[in-house]
Amino acid sequence: MPGQRPNDGTKKTRWSTAQKAEARTVKKARNARRTDADPRPPRREDRRDDVREDRRPRDGYRSRPDAERGERGHAPRARADEGRPFGRDDRGARSGRPSFDRTDRGARGPVDRDRDRPQRRPFERDDRRPYGRDDRGERRPYDRDDRRPSRDDRGERRPYQQRDDRGERRPYQQRDDRGERRPYQQRDDRGERRPYQQRDDRGERRPYQQRDDRGERRPYQRDDRGERRPFDRDDRGDRPARRPFERDERPTRDARAEGEGRRSAERHTRLFENTPTTHTRPERPERHAAPVTEDNGFAKLGVPMPLVERLARDGITEPFPIQTATLPDALAGRDVLGRGRTGSGKTLAFGLAALARLAGGTARPNRPRAVVLVPTRELAMQVSDALQPLVHVLGLRHKLVAGGMPYPPQFDALERGLDILIATPGRLNDLVDRGAAILDGVEIAILDEADHMADMGFMPEVTALLDLIPAGGQRLLFSATLDNGIDELVERYLVDPVTHSTDEARASVTTMAHHVLLIEPQHKKVITAEVANRDGRTVVFVRTKLGADRVAMQLREQGVFAAALHGGLNQGARNRVLAAFKDGTLPVLVATDVAARGIHVDDVSVVLQVDPPADHKDYLHRAGRTARAGEEGTVVTLALPHQKKMMERIGRDAGLTVEPVRVRPGDDTILAATGARPTSGEAIPEERLRRLLDPPRRPVGRGRRFGGGSGPRRDGGHRGSGGYGGRDRRRDG
């Protein structure tokens, strides 16, 4: 029905705040009813009091009895320590323990699981059929070869929940019917699952990455890892021989300033060209790397000397307000709620505290001592990178654990023992289920973007993890917008927390200029393009993934080089897009709210919100992508007539003082605000986008030899036909 849908690309169904609130209430009530009427053993909430009692000094960690875990419905986590704090010595003896055969699980699994994790299919893990695929004949051993290039071929992928129906291609776990070898995922049918590191005693079977017995190939050969596999960055500390991306080796500001600039810069480029660099810390403009002086602010706060010195090497000698405020309490071991404006140095605030408190300790295999939970993979990478140099000067180990990245390095790292684990909730839960991560030794739990982690969508996974972490440890919750949304988390997991709020959770007026432009729907496209066509880096925010793809495409059509970033892209594409934006090859990033929080890119001078944010918190977080660490920036929000009221409310809540201004294309207002300029109208060739999006080419003679078979690249014939891969396959949710 053309004409019905507004021409502005917005969806028609809009929920008022009241409606949303009502939906929440209804849902809450439903859950409550279920609990009340439920004769089954008490849930987490009901055990809250126990948890409280359990809180005691840090020597008192204990693992919760497994019976309790079972109630919460987790998949068979390592169950060996029944009642015993750390004595898992019975693990080796399979016979002495209840086995997780299907009957066993069938009896207790599905119901319980359903309760806490309704989105999971109860028998998911058991559904994997190691043998006896009827269609086995179709699959050939070398399928593996064409899988990799083809997977990254298109920037797009379908959400993992939907990937099962792809037809001949089966999900990751089920792809292993290629031969007689059983993959590690299928350990279930051995009767139990042991933590990963203990499988050695089964005999000849070695950990996944060492399984040369499959043939000559070692899929995760270390030698070429550094180049091809961006996410191994975190292993650097453990492989001193290969540390091409060590932060410390980056040319220092001094070196550049002293005129070896060009060569240094070239080396810099070379070092990083294949790596999604995540430049986390705003470099402070002044000060040479200096030795620690008397008046070093961090030293005064009680930060250990090795950390202070390491920071000083980067010229970081004066703590930001949020750091000054939270560090004393955090170092003292208290639970802290920290709120500081976007870009104000929260990562370092909790990072320094955690590392200082971890210093000197030793991690046991698979039992991280501290966990940082973050809402997006990119943010996880960034936090990991930011902490990297500090972790290493203390001789500690850290690792990034998140979806979309290969398992083996994560298994490895966990097995070696980690002091600080940076994770997204989904993958960490996964690893816990696999027994590769055991959280009963976690002394410090940190939630970055805590209010977001308390959102309805995240909450179940987050609480599932927090429930596994023993009471008595320290909890740090940080965000730029800490509001009442986190009450439940606070009440449930924090003890006597102290709140530090260094900035108003309102829009900065000193370094950030805000503009709300009232526009007509038919002008949206061209105004967007003119603003995006300015000099400098621009982040464009849209509401949906599809919208991101569409706006990016429209920009390219009008001659502005832009690419979309959203959770529908595969991880490789996400990395490449973000890396290109960071290194300047991509001037315009069109993103969903995946990039709204935490992500730091230098010199983003304009944030353009093509779709208004959902609420004032989103406004502040999106806006916070510019004007980082004291720099200046402009935030422009486009509002259609029907969005005017909403935007006024959001602006009010966010502390904006500006009035919406009515503009049309070409108006001086826009020009003055952002440096907008007309576009060339000459479309950017799709090839250019593809170069950016496609995985680096593999060496000749590998990979596609068997191609043309079942590999998705068989659609290679469509290359150049303008498809922004996979769009046609996806459906509007």
Classify the C-alpha dihedral 597-602-608-610 as positive or negative.
Answer: negative
Q: Is 721 in the site for DNA (CB under 7 A)?
A: no
Q: How far is the CB of 539 from DNA (least distance, A)?
A: 14
Distance separating alpha carbons of residues 81 and 91, to the nearest angstrom? 8
Options 547, 624, 651, 712; binder of DNA; rule CB under 7 A: 547
Q: How far is the CB of 178 from DNA (least distance, A)?
A: 15
- Is residue 503 a contact partner of residue 620, using CB atoms and an 8 Å limit? no
Options 89, 124, 632, 687; binder of DNA; rule CB under 7 A: 124
Nearer to DNA, 425 or 473 (CB): 425
Q: How far is the CB of 462 from DNA (least distance, A)?
A: 9
Options 5, 7, 11, 227; binder of DNA; rule CB under 7 A: 11
Identify the DSSP state of 159. Answer: -
Options 160, 217, 227, 698; binder of DNA; rule CB under 7 A: 160
Interaction residues for DNA, span 161-200 (CB under 7 A): 161, 171-173
Q: Give the neighbor-by-neighbor strand order of the sheet with 661-662.
A: 562-565, 588-591, 537-541, 604-609, 633-639, 512-518, 661-662
User: What Å distances lie between residue 273 and 183, 228, 276, 277, 563, CA to CA?
Assistant: 34, 11, 8, 9, 18
Nearer to DNA, 139 or 545 (CB): 545
Q: Is 475 in the site for DNA (CB under 7 A)?
A: no
Task: Decide: helix, strand or coil at residue 233.
Answer: helix
Interaction residues for DNA, span 551-570 (CB under 7 A): 566-568
Nearer to DNA, 152 or 593 (CB): 593
Nearer to DNA, 387 or 546 (CB): 546
Report the greatest alpha carbon distance in the chain: 79
Going by C-alpha positions, the residue among 225, 268, 278 that lies closest to residue 579 is: 278
Q: Is 6 in the site for DNA (CB under 7 A)?
A: no
Q: Residue 565: enclosing H or E segment and its boundaries?
A: strand 562-565
CA atoms in the 13 A half-sphere facing the CB of 405: 30
Choices 158-166, 193-201, 206-214, 522-530 (CB under 7 A): range interacting with DNA: 158-166
Nearer to DNA, 11 or 705 (CB): 11
Options 543, 550, 617, 621; binder of DNA; rule CB under 7 A: 543
Neighbouring-strand partners of residue 169: none
Options 365, 403, 521, 723; binder of DNA; rule CB under 7 A: 403
Options 189, 433, 520, 557; binder of DNA; rule CB under 7 A: 433
Contacts of 107 (CB under 8 A, 6+ apart): none
Q: Is 408 in the site for DNA (CB under 7 A)?
A: no
Q: Is 430 in the site for DNA (CB under 7 A)?
A: yes
Degrees to nearest 5, angle at CA 407 with 698 and 575:
50
Choices 81-89, 283-291, 456-464, 712-720 (CB under 7 A): range interacting with DNA: 456-464
Q: Is 733 in the site for DNA (CB under 7 A)?
A: yes
Nearer to DNA, 153 or 667 (CB): 153
User: What Å distances lie between residue 70 and 54, 108, 630, CA to CA?
Assistant: 19, 8, 49
Q: How far is CA 515 from the centre of its chain?
A: 30
Binding mask 591-630 for DNA (x = CB under 7 A): -xxx-------------------x----------------
Burial class (CB in 10 A: 0-12, 13-18, 19+), 597: buried
Distance separating alpha carbons of residues 188 and 234, to the nearest angstrom? 30
- Is residue 681 a contact partner of residue 114, using CB atoms and an 8 Å limit? no
Q: How far is the CB of 575 from DNA (least distance, A)?
A: 11
Q: How far is the CB of 269 from DNA (least distance, A)?
A: 27
Distance separating alpha carbons of residues 541 and 414, to the nearest angstrom? 36
Distance, first Cα to last Cα, the chain: 18
Nearer to DNA, 20 or 102 (CB): 20
Q: How far is the CB of 147 from DNA (least distance, A)?
A: 11
Q: Is 377 in the site for DNA (CB under 7 A)?
A: yes
Classify the C-alpha dihedral 229-231-236-239 as positive or negative.
Answer: negative
Distance separating alpha carbons of residues 297 and 287, to the nearest angstrom? 14
Q: Is 51 in the site for DNA (CB under 7 A)?
A: no
- Is residue 478 a contact partner of residue 403, using CB atoms and an 8 Å limit? no
Residue 112: what are its φ and ψ, rounded to 5°?
-60, -45
Q: How far is the CB of 160 from DNA (least distance, A)?
A: 4
Distance separating alpha carbons of residues 540 and 526, to the nearest angstrom? 14
Options 5, 7, 23, 522; binder of DNA; rule CB under 7 A: 23
Choices 12-20, 46-54, 203-211, 224-232 (CB under 7 A): range interacting with DNA: 12-20
Nearer to DNA, 334 or 543 (CB): 543
- Is residue 486 a contact partner of residue 450, using CB atoms and an 8 Å limit? yes
Q: Is 120 in the site for DNA (CB under 7 A)?
A: yes
Q: How far is the CB of 481 from DNA (least distance, A)?
A: 14
Choices 15-23, 38-46, 135-143, 289-297 (CB under 7 A): range interacting with DNA: 15-23
Options 304, 375, 435, 473; binder of DNA; rule CB under 7 A: 375
Q: Is 272 in the site for DNA (CB under 7 A)?
A: no
Which parts of this chain interact with DNA (CB under 7 A)? 11, 13, 15, 20, 23, 120, 124, 159-161, 171-173, 375-378, 402-405, 424-430, 433, 455-458, 461, 543-547, 566-568, 592-594, 614, 733
